Amino acid sequence: MKIKLLGFAIVLLLFSCKEEIKETKKDIKQYTIQQFMDNEAIGGGSFSSDNSNLLISSNRSGIYNVYTISAKGGDMVPVTQSDSTSIFAESYFPNDDRMLVSADGNGDEIDHLFVRELDGTIKDITPEKGAKSNFYGWSKDDKYLYYGSNKRDPKYFDVYKLSIDNYTSAMIYQNNDGLDFSGMSNDENYFALSKTLNTNDSDLFLYDVKTKQMTKINENQSANAAQDFSVDNSTFYYTTDDGAEFSYLMSYTLGSKEKKKVIEKSWDISGSSFTSEGKYMVVYINEDGKNAIEVLDSNTMTPIDLPNFDGKSITSVGFSKNEKWMRLYVGGSNSPSDLYTYNLETKEQFKLTNVLNDAINIDDLVTAKVIRFKSFDGTEIPAIYYLPHQASPANKVPAMVWVHGGPGGQTRQGFNSLIQYMVNHGYAVLAVNNRGSSGYGKTFYKMDDKNHGENDLQDCVEGKNWLAQQTEINGEKIGIIGGSYGGYMTMAALTYTPEEFAVGVNLFGVTNWLRTLKSIPPYWESFRESLYLELGDPYSADSVRLKRISPLFHTDKITKPLIVLQGAEDPRVLQVESDEIVAGVRKNNVPVEYVLFPDEGHGFVKKENQIEAYSRILTFLDTYLK
């Protein structure tokens, strides 16, 4: 059974390649934010039982709705037509054309699961008010679906088995110990469970339903994550970084309890899973900030040939139940990901979408470049650099340091409309993977523990200094921008290094760590102690430091123009965080703009709100930076 793992941090995805950036000035067309947002975002890709169609999500209507599309291409057919709450595709049912979809309440993250019946009616099959439900997968006999819900206890997710005939459910695992469900064998006899120790490390357990025995898989404290069980229920696969900087793939034979190293790379193996019948194993590698994907023949463990996409990257893959079809997402930093299908028997390939707005010439967009610079203490910091085509030593451009979400996130591969919009309008962007970012080894990841807003902030300052040394950059006009934890870093920069950056753009950033850490959503309970270990416990002596690094208590130091953007439904960074920082900075007679969206959560998903947010950001930069 395949499961979907929840992420605890917003990860802003960017792409990198090692082509040399042209230094000659180039005439390009500039595009409006409406044109950039006319690009379409596609997600999902579950095959119907007869492989004729795929179930996908798209924001072409302005918010996410669910559509079907032929596996060989054609028009997308709307399944849902919501004009308020985004609805996302989960999966076709295994043996008929019913569809499983999910939605929350305008960004409040309280997801419910819905079935779209054959007659077109939609039924909420997890209707408990205030409870969050997550789809985990289908049973091997195709008669049940598995899901997690915190309806019994808001702090913990139990595992339920729901009949797809009458939608009645029964609990099959009660989570009394704060362990996180991470997978299950097809025979339902083995549960993979994890216990978070800190934001990097976790213990991994296997629970045997028949014997009631709980077996700890890892021997030493390390990062351990369940990946999959073999189809025949004989072997469990997991990743670990025990004794290494990067995570590698291990197997654990359930009968003999023998462990073997299966695959090791020079980067983290970030995921691995089998196809439905076990013919293929898919392996994801986080290779210097981008996805590298291998599809292995499970018998020989050798990679199969995948289609070539002329310099673009395959960012994810999925398979039909009979393993004859594969769907692929393909894109790059200058191109949003399109959906393709590939028939593994006939080798036929079909492009299903053209998500880049026809009005935009891809040659006017910028391909990112991976760079590295030395920080104040000699630590090498990786970053991803976007230089406008129109930049040159004779035409120096302003720049923005971009800080990802987290803590512990990573700027990675993927098209980003806001970045391309800023770059298209003449702003260079340096996306800094400061110390504490994931993907560069566990030593680097742990370097900012209980040091947030200090050495990691200095990495961002050194990124600004690197920018200022580039001949195409106007070193006097460099600002800082970030969302979530990156928003905190923006506010920390303006507060604790007030002369370094010319402006700040704060998207739903933490400004009061004491309040944020005390108001963690109840369904984060298993992760709460880990955050306290990394950031500090607000109920202990750590509170002194947490107050010291919280910009809200030091707003008198802020002297540079600021724009703050916030969603009123955000359960992670509460609206009051932005309300109070804006009020505090305005007392300094500093230019402050505040953009509040009543129908958004932690991140903006509605196109009309994205257009408003991004256009306000560019207008702000044009006014105070350019």
Task: Give the pLDDT of residue 19.
Answer: 33
Q: Is position 562 within any domain?
A: yes
Question: Which tens digits make up the pLDDT trace of 548-575?
Answer: 999 999 999 999 999 999 999 988 899 9
Give the pLDDT score at 240: 98
Q: Residue 555 and residue 492: Cα distance in Å, rounded?
A: 10
CATH assignment of the domain containing 378 = 3.40.50.1820
> How would residue 87 be classed by pLDDT, with cut points 50, 70 and 90?
very high
Partner residues linked to 430 by β-bridges: 385, 401
For 368-383, the pLDDT digits (tens) are 999 999 999 999 999 9
Quick one: 535 exposed, middle or buried, by C-beta within 10 A (0-12, 13-18, 19+)? buried
The predicted-structure confidence for 199-230, as pLDDT tens digits, reads as follows: 889 999 999 999 999 999 999 999 999 999 99
Q: Which residues contact 310 (CB under 8 A, 6 or more apart)?
A: none
- Scored b (16 or more CB within 10 A) or e, 548-570 reads ebbbbbbbeebebbbbbbbbebb
With bands split at pLDDT 50, 70 and 90, how would you rate the model's confidence at 21? very low
Residue 334 inside a domain? The answer is: no
DSSP assignments along 455-480, one per residue: HHHHHHHHHHHHHHTSTTEEEEEEEE
Q: Is residue 508 part of a domain?
A: yes
Q: Is the pLDDT score of 7 beyond 70?
A: no
Q: What is the mean pLDDT of residues 137-156?
A: 95
Question: What is the count of structural domains for the chain?
Answer: 1
Q: Does the pLDDT at position 65 exceed 80? A: yes
> Two tokens at 452?
């947030």
CA pair distance 138, 134, nearest whole angstrom: 13
> Confidence band (pLDDT; 50, 70, 90) for 13?
very low
pLDDT of residue 33: 93
pLDDT above 80 (res 6): no
Range of the domain at 554: 366-624
Instruction: Dump pLDDT digits (tens) for 514-560.
Output: 999 998 888 777 778 888 888 889 999 999 999 999 999 999 999 99
C-beta atoms surrounding 41 within 10 Å:
17
E-strand ranges in 107-201 read 112-116, 122-124, 133-138, 144-153, 156-163, 169-173, 180-184, 190-196
> What is the C-alpha to C-alpha distance for residues 251 and 259, in angstroms, rounded to an integer?
6
Indicate whether 117 belongs to any domain.
no
413 band by pLDDT with thresholds 50, 70 and 90: low
Position 467 in a domain: yes
Which token pair is 368?
């990112």
Q: Per residue in 493-506, pLDDT tens?
A: 999 999 999 999 99
Residue 618's Cα: distance from chain center in Å?
24
- Kindly provide the residue ranges of all beta strands, DSSP E only, lying in 375-472, ordered along the sequence: 380-386, 397-403, 428-432
172 within some domain: no
Side chain identity at 116, as an amino acid letter?
R
Mean pLDDT along residues 419-436: 97
Of the candidates 132, 166, 99, 146, the residue with the CA atom closest to the CA atom of residue 3: 146
pLDDT tens column, 603-619:
998 999 999 999 999 99
| Separation in Å, CA 89 to CA 45, 48, 165 | 8, 12, 20
C-alpha distances out from residue 62 to 55, 81, 122, 177, 248, Å: 18, 11, 21, 42, 40
> How large a percentage of the chain has pLDDT more than 70?
96
Binned at pLDDT 50, 70 and 90, residue 449 comes out as confident
158 falls within a domain: no
194 CA to centre of own chain: 20
Q: What is the DSSP letter of 20?
A: P
Q: Give 68's Cβ-side CA count (13 Å radius).
A: 14
pLDDT, tens digit (0-9, with 9 covering 90-100), for 285-311: 999 988 899 999 999 999 999 998 987
Mean pLDDT of 110-132: 96
Q: What is the mean pLDDT of residues 49-59?
A: 97
* 17 has pLDDT over 70: no
**3-class secondary structure per residue, 266-308:** CCEEEEEEECCCCCEEEEEEEECCEEEEEEEECCCCEECCCCC
**Domain presence at residue 86:** no
